[in-house]
Structure 1
Amino acid sequence: MNFHTRKWVKPEDLNPNGTLFGGSLLKWIDEEAAIYAIVQLGSQSVVTKLISEINFVSSARQGDIIELGITATEFGRTSLTMRCEVRNKITRKSILTIDKMVFVNMGENGTPVAHGKTEITYIKDQL
């Protein structure tokens, strides 16, 4: 799994316990996963269909730098399934795991449409 996106945990990202608010983290993950799906499928018309069980393994605190890792695990006819891990950049300690996130490629009429992709596309192969 490649970890490309990094976030710095700031005061506005904290819950009353002084740790990273899960909602902030989930927003970052959903956005990163959508960008990943857009790049992989070559389409900006993707939507989140499913996010499986979210396993909060440990917490992050103000000042921590975290990194988000996402990788494709399956290409469906209209969908892309991914796995996600979030970890502390410095300690490499896992913060969160999600085994399954599904995004669907949507057509102009708002229904799923085939994307034609079958394997991960790497940036070096796109250039």
Structure 2
Amino acid sequence: EFSLKTKRGHIINGHVPVKVKEGESPVKANGKLIIIDGGFCKAYHKKTGIAGYTLISNSRGLRLLEHQSCANIKESLKANQDIESVSCTLELQNYHSSTADTDLGEEIQCQINDIYHLMLAYQNGLIPEQS
């Protein structure tokens, strides 16, 4: 339904509290669905048992940070203190992804191919020169 590329696609669902203290995992559907939330809001800490998740995506893969609750977030930020996080690598590729590996990259490559074929048609006289 989401037109995922089955090998690499994911559905990321945000702003949904994950009840870690009850054993719930943020990774579902064999790793295709990842639930994250910005659970820094103290009101959710009792429900979830943590302070939320951050998903990090880069050219090598996906990493999920699970943020631990801290006594006072405002004071921690003011004092530039670290908020403890547990890191979990979800996917690690053996190569660096590039724009060519994205949907937009595929569209750009199609445009390049179209321009190339137009150039060949012009060079072979199939498209006349216009004045």
Question: Structure 1 length normalisation: TM-score?
Answer: 0.30
- Using CA pairs under 8 Å that are at least 6 residues apart, name the structure with larger relative contact order, 1 or 2: 1
The TM-score, its normalising length taken from structure 2, stands at 0.29
Q: Which protein is bigger by CA-based radius of gyration?
A: 2
More helix by share: 2
